[in-house]
Amino acid sequence: MLSLGYEVHGLVRRVALEDPERRFTRIAHLLDRVQLHAASLESYPSIFAVVSHHDFDECYHLAAQSFVAESFADGFSTMNTNINGTHYMLAALRELRPQCRFYFAGSSEMFGLVSETPQRETTPFHPRSPYGISKVAGFELSRNYREAYGMFAANGILFNHEGPRRGFEFVTRKITSTVARIKAGQATELRLGNLEARRDWGHAKDYVRAMHLILQHDRPEEFVVASSESHTVREFCELAFSEVGLDYREYVRIDERFYRPAEVESLVGDATKVRTVLGWHPTYNFSELVREMVQNDLKVVLSQTAGLPAAIGGQR
Ligand code: G4F
């Protein structure tokens, strides 16, 4: 957004503002170029206050409790934050900035137990987790504000998007960060759950471009954003370990704790609409994504060993 000349504002919780050293590592290089406001998805007044002070043109509503496994551990807070937070954002915009274009971060998790492959905009939803259910609710709220109040509320349905800034709890970063630590002699094994789960993994850098395009379209609509390739967690491991010359079979251990009560076994998206209508196309393929993540984590481990601040971020 900055490179396109936008003035960028973000919402952050007060706890994060009070602990910038730890909480802002991923945006440390941008802190002097964005305006951050204290607000929480759990508080309508805090969102209302920020929206009332600035005349926003576009709103990218990406914030959520987004870790599927955690949503099984605490479904109540996932639902409260994700559903009410989306409703608060929409209600505040309707009241104060009805012309602001709104992007809702829908998810391929909404397809869950899939009824067709590949999944597209018209594929029915069958979510398999409190997180997936909360995203279906947010998606429908967004569509309802469009239909009921004429707001420009658009829905992206993004498949998994990854990169060097991914959180360490998600499987891709868990794998690449552990590969780097094993290579550096700081770890001896990698404990994972279901290795046969299939995901359609793309690079976050490509996917945020799609979000922007979705809000530049002449109408608010639904768009699937996906690489249209699917790989198993096992294949991700194989490639990540081979990037540093290791065989994953010698290090990966199956741990029942990382299985989910209900799994989304296989996802792959049909990105025909976003490609043909918006001209979007990804610039990274699967092996380039894995390579960039492993190489970045090797740098992080080396800089930590040398006592330097950890570098998190891609070059491309
Ligand atoms: O990396 P994951 O935790 O991502 P998941 O559940 O697919 O969700 C991500 O993508 C969604 C888009 O489709 C987003 F909406 C969501 O917010 C998030 O960004 O797990 C991927 C797969 C799962 O099938 C999981 O069971 O990897 C499997 N897996 C196997 N072992 C593991 C592990 N996942 C994690 N996190 N940790 C493991 O040890």
- 211-255 pLDDT, tens digit per residue, is 999 999 999 999 999 999 999 999 999 999 999 999 999 999 999
Per-residue pLDDT, 20 = 87
**Any ligand 1 atom below 6 A from CB of 192:** yes
Q: Which atom of ligand 1 is nearest to the CA of 169?
A: 36
Do 183 and 298 contact (CB within 8 A), yes or no? yes
- Per DSSP, helices labelled H in 18-165 are 20-23, 44-53, 68-73, 75-79, 85-96, 130-149
Q: Which atom of ligand 1 is nearest to the CA of 132?
A: 15
How many A from CA of 263 to the centre of ligand 1? 9
Residue nearest to atom 12 of ligand 1 (CA): 160
How many A from CA of 264 to the centre of ligand 1? 9
Q: How far apart are CA 252 and CA 65, in angstroms?
A: 28
Long-range contacts of 10-16 (CB under 8 A, 24+ apart): 10/34, 10/35, 10/36, 10/37, 11/36, 11/37, 11/38, 11/39, 11/40, 11/41, 11/47, 11/50, 11/63, 12/36, 12/37, 12/38, 12/39, 13/38, 13/39, 13/40, 14/38, 14/40
Asked about 169 being catalytic, the answer comes back as: no
pLDDT above 70: residue 188: yes
Q: How far apart are CA 109 and CA 129, in angstroms?
A: 8
Per-residue pLDDT, 308 = 65
Of 199, 257, 260, the residue with max ligand 1 atoms within 8 A of its CB, to mutate for a pocket test, comes to 199
Asked about 107 being catalytic, the answer comes back as: yes
When computed from its CA atoms, the radius of gyration of the chain, rounded to whole angstroms, is 20
Residue nearest to atom 15 of ligand 1 (CA): 107
Query: How far is residue 254 from each of residues 190, 216, 219, 223, measured CA to CA in Å?
Result: 9, 45, 47, 36
More confident residue, 307 or 154: 154
pLDDT above 80: residue 258: yes
How many A from CA of 171 to the centre of ligand 1? 6
Per-residue pLDDT, 304 = 87
Local structure of residue 4 (DSSP, 8 states) = T
**Any ligand 1 atom below 6 A from CB of 199:** yes
pLDDT above 80: residue 310: no
How many A from CA of 170 to the centre of ligand 1? 6
Do 118 and 62 contact (CB within 8 A), yes or no? no
**Any ligand 1 atom below 6 A from CB of 162:** no
Residue 106: HSE in the Cβ half-sphere, 13 Å Cα cutoff: 31
How many A from CA of 122 to the centre of ligand 1? 23
In 3-state terms, what secondary structure has residue 214?
helix
Q: How far apart are CA 96 and CA 216, in angstroms?
A: 21
More confident residue, 18 or 160: 160
Q: How far apart are CA 35 and CA 164, in angstroms?
A: 23
Asked about 109 being catalytic, the answer comes back as: yes
User: Which pair of structure tokens corresponds to residue 237?
Assistant: 């491991």
Q: Which of 107, 129, 142, 177 is catalytic?
A: 107
Do 155 and 142 contact (CB within 8 A), yes or no? yes
Q: How far apart are CA 170 and CA 109, in angstroms?
A: 14
Residues 231-242: tens digit of each pLDDT: 999 999 999 999
Measure CA of the first residue to CA of the last residue in the chain; give whole Å: 16
**Any ligand 1 atom below 6 A from CB of 258:** yes
Residues 74-127: tens digit of each pLDDT: 999 999 999 999 999 999 999 999 999 999 999 999 999 999 999 999 999 999
Per-residue pLDDT, 44 = 98
Q: Which atom of ligand 1 is nearest to the CA of 107?
A: 15
Q: Which atom of ligand 1 is nearest to the CA of 109?
A: 13
**Any ligand 1 atom below 6 A from CB of 194:** yes
pLDDT above 50: residue 19: yes
Local structure of residue 196 (DSSP, 8 states) = T
With 0-12 CB in 10 A as exposed, 13-18 as middle and 19+ as buried, what is 284?
buried
